[in-house]
Amino acid sequence: MPALLRPRGAALYGGQAVIEGVMMRGPERMAVAVRQPDGAIVVHEEAVGRWAERLGLGRWPLLGGLVTLAESLSLGFAALMFSANAASEPDERLTRGEMRWTVAIATVVAVGVFVVLPTWLVGLLAGAFRSSVALNLVEGTARVAILVAYLYGISRTREMQRVLGYHGAEHKAIAALEAGARLAPETVRAFPRFHPRCGTSYLLFVAFVALVLFTAFGWPSFIVRVVSRIVGLPLVAALAYELLRASARRPGALWARCVQAPGLWMQRLTTREPDEGQLEVAIAALEAVRRAERPLAQPAAGEAGTA
């Protein structure tokens, strides 16, 4: 997901990998570039809603971040749907309804695997621990272990290898832009495929915040634990977003480097070195956003977010 922060006086760019393509987003516009079956690159560009600013929540801690995160998820869904159809043959394309059902089912499965399963498994061992803090710590550790195992598993599939290559291409293009380098495949390739504001880092922030927050509720019954964790997800997401934003604003601080380090390590699972064609797609998406947003200021070094 895009982890977008918007400092004053700087245009900010971030994005995410999609099916055979990359979505890039700036403060005002977003663009999706996709490699079609015939080899051509198709680009879709549109304005972003800026929900938080329209609702007057742009400077509100937690609420503003939660609304921005919701908007990012909405844009990500739209980009994913466009890419799925643009990268498919006409008789294989999905309708909006089919895509929504797919996302809904995936969401239910994700809640079951990453919310319900860890607390159920640890509940079986409750008799071995006398402290609710210890139980919550084990649950949090189990959640991270399941997440790492899941990422490792999907990273080994052929289909995901392509997506992870586009993820790496997106990071490299953002890094090249931040450095003021020329946006060409041979130049962009030299930049790292890891980025501290990646959505992978955000997932780990969510796991950490959930561990701290849910510990405050003790260790009630299984049903109460499941309900409290599901109901608490928006708060966990908002707190994790604020932590991500704080670390992005102080990239040189020791505490920021410490909290970013696990996410950078995890990106070894969620990115791959892209080929030249994937770099071309990422550059096409980024250049489309920059053209649409001129004459906005260019990004300050180290200020761009990414996914």
HEC assignment per residue over 128-197: HCCCHHHHHHHHHHHHHHHHHHHHHHHHCCHHHHHHHHHHHHHHHHHHHHHCCCCCCHHHHCCCCCCCCC
Q: What is the pLDDT of residue 1?
A: 39
Cα separation, 82 vs 92, whole angstroms: 13
Q: What is the pLDDT of residue 10?
A: 46
3 domain-assigned: no
161 domain-assigned: yes
115 domain-assigned: yes
Task: Output the DSSP codes for 8-43.
Answer: TT----EEEEETTEEEEE-SSEEEEEEE-TTS-EEE
118 domain-assigned: yes
- Two structure tokens written together for 130: 């006398």
Q: What is the pLDDT of residue 99?
A: 79
- Total domains in the chain come to 1
Q: What is the pLDDT of residue 7?
A: 36
Place of tokens 């079986």: 124
Instruction: Indicate the SS3 state at residue 107.
Output: helix
Instruction: Indicate the SS3 state at residue 306.
Output: coil
| CB distance 16 to 76 below 8 Å | yes
305 domain-assigned: no
pTM of the full predicted structure? 0.84
Sort 72 into a burial class: Cβ within 10 Å, 0-12 / 13-18 / 19+.
buried
Which DSSP state fits 62? T
243 domain-assigned: yes
Q: What is the pLDDT of residue 297?
A: 44
Helix-helix angle 199-215:222-231, to 10 degrees: 130
Q: What is the pLDDT of residue 72?
A: 82
215 domain-assigned: yes
Q: What is the pLDDT of residue 146?
A: 94
- Two structure tokens written together for 285: 């998406």
Q: Which residues contact 116 (CB under 8 A, 6 or more apart)?
A: 226
Q: What is the pLDDT of residue 301?
A: 36
Cα separation, 125 vs 135, whole angstroms: 9
| CB distance 30 to 75 below 8 Å | yes
Task: Output the DSSP codes for 209-271.
Answer: HHHHHHHTT----HHHHHHHHHHTHHHHHHHHHHHHHHHHH-TTSHHHHHHHHHHHHHHHHH-
Place of tokens 């649950």: 139
Q: What is the pLDDT of residue 173?
A: 95
- Per-residue pLDDT of the chain (307 residues), as tens digits, is 334 444 333 456 889 999 999 999 988 889 999 999 999 999 999 888 776 667 776 677 777 777 877 888 888 888 888 898 888 877 677 777 887 888 889 889 999 999 999 999 999 988 888 889 999 999 999 999 999 999 999 989 888 999 999 999 999 999 999 899 999 999 999 999 998 878 888 888 888 899 899 998 899 999 999 999 999 988 998 888 888 888 877 877 888 888 888 888 999 999 999 999 999 999 999 999 988 877 544 443 333 344 5
- Two structure tokens written together for 18: 């999609």
Domain of 90, in residue numbers: 14-293
